[in-house]
Structure 1
Amino acid sequence: MQSPLFSHTEQQSQDRYTVQNPQLLRVALTGHDDVLARKGAMVAYQGLMEFDGEYQSQSQARARRTTGEGLDLMRCSGQGTVYLANLAQYIHVVDVDDEGMTVDSAYVLALDSSLHTEVIAMDSQYGISGTGKYQLNISGNGKVALMTSGQPLMMQVTPDKYVNADARQHGGGEGWELSFLGQGFALVQPSEVLPPQNAQIGQGAAAQFGVGQHGAHGQNQNNAWN
């Protein structure tokens, strides 16, 4: 049997995180440091692996209910290799340092268990203006795997050159922008909405195309991370 399919073989690497292809992440575990991954993101694994639902503290659960921001994670542990993906989105591995990073939780695929996450309000304290918006702040030292719908554009932010990003809330029909100020980078994806994650189809043609409170647009309203 012959086919171009057989050319998509496993990428050999000693790195903990390896982008197997643009839409599939390979994570190697040695039995010491666990990885936290989005629930349902495991598509295959090899070796002696365990997958457990990650405990949420009362404050984390309360923040998730109040803000809609937060992560549903599973802990991946053991010795072997786990492959992660989510709706064929593009995957990017980022090193988190002492400065930390702010991201919409809908775009997080996996992260080192040593990293700390906290829901924060988007205000001028973080150099990002946006009224009534919450994001996930990731701090510590480690790696995080992010997802985008398509290949993103990296835009540099300087004190004399800020970046505005569309942050339209499709579900409610209200539009507003994020303004990135200060020094750093903003990554913008070439798509205004995510593929449907946990979206209920609902009824009618509108819901079939992701429109309305039961469609993808209603379930995934956010579209920028930095």
Structure 2
Amino acid sequence: MRDYSIREFIEKTKQNEAARDYFELETERILEVNLAGDVWAKAGSMISYNGKIKFEREGILEHGVGKMFKKAFSGEGTALMKASGRGVLYLADQGKKVTVLDLNGESITVNGNDLLAFEPSVRWDIHLMRKMAGVVSGGLFNVTLEGQGRVAITSHYEPLTLLVEPGKPVVTDPNATVAWSGHLKPEFRTDISYRTFLGRGSGESIQMEFSGEGFVIVQPYEEKSGSDRSG
């Protein structure tokens, strides 16, 4: 007979005490941070912690006037919090799947809505995408991260990585695009017939085209901008 006891439930779902890496996937949707210093995380992503950890929203001068100027135009999705101290921190974002990437001198650009956390050793900067206002989830921005350290990104369901090769550009729906090689610079193009064909009403559909050599990560889900969400 199957055991439905509370003890059995605890055994199946309790945290892994043996995990000691800075970033650990406690489950595929929960990131464990074994904190001994600082970590940058998406504001509001903390679901639990133990130990002595202090949280603070990103300070106005934390990264210089330039970045804060850009933040003023990039929506709430870029809001970061800094967790400082010693302990174990658990992060999650609306039940999305978490993927941990270890940067070793590489760079990656992430949709601001899909960035969960990164080590303080990772350099970052916000880039505006003015053409994408009202189209890209969370606003018109992305975040480029580079250097050494771990980065955690999120996606709805299983992500798919598409390889970009010379002469073979990859075109994606901005609302389904999670991240791409940091050196790639997407071009934006419109397709009226595409939008009309799918019954999305009149107007232009904006697509992202990646050319060169690298990769693009997409998800099987279209995240809508804040103004398009209900509930």
* TM-score higher than 0.5: yes
TM class by shorter chain equals: 0.7 to 0.9
2:59 to 55, 62, 67: 55
Please report how far the alpha carbon of residue 146 of structure 1 lies from its aligned counterpart in structure 2 after TM superposition: 0.4
Q: Tell me whether 1:157 sits opposite 2:187 in the alignment.
A: no
Query: Equivalent pairs: percent with the same residue?
Result: 28
Please report how far the alpha carbon of residue 134 of structure 1 lies from its aligned counterpart in structure 2 after TM superposition: 3.8
1:189 to 201, 219, 222: 219
CA contact (8 A) 1:90 1:150 kept: yes
Between Structure 1 and Structure 2, how many residues are aligned? 192
In structure 1, how many angstroms separate the alpha carbons of the residues matched to 2:76 and 2:165?
28
Give structure 1 stretches of 5+ with no counterpart.
124-129, 200-212, 218-226
Q: Which amino acid aligns with 2:5?
A: Q
Q: Aligned with 2:102: secondary structure?
A: strand
In structure 2, how many angstroms separate the alpha carbons of the residues matched to 1:37 and 1:55?
14
Higher relative contact order, chain-length normalized (CA < 8 Å, sep 6+):
2
Q: Which amino acid aligns with 1:29?
A: L
Which structure has the highest strand share of the two? 2
Q: Which amino acid aligns with 2:145?
A: I
In structure 2, how many angstroms separate the alpha carbons of the residues matched to 1:8 and 1:131?
41
Q: Tell me whether 1:2 sits opposite 2:14 in the alignment.
A: no
CA contact (8 A) 1:168 1:176 kept: no
In terms of mean alpha carbon deviation, does 84-93 or 132-141 score higher? 132-141
Cα RMSD of the aligned pairs, angstroms, is 2.9
Please report how far the alpha carbon of residue 147 of structure 1 lies from its aligned counterpart in structure 2 after TM superposition: 0.6
Q: Which runs of 4+ in 1 moved over 3 A?
A: 67-70, 130-134
Please report how far the alpha carbon of residue 121 of structure 1 lies from its aligned counterpart in structure 2 after TM superposition: 4.8
Change (3 A) 1:56 1:94: farther
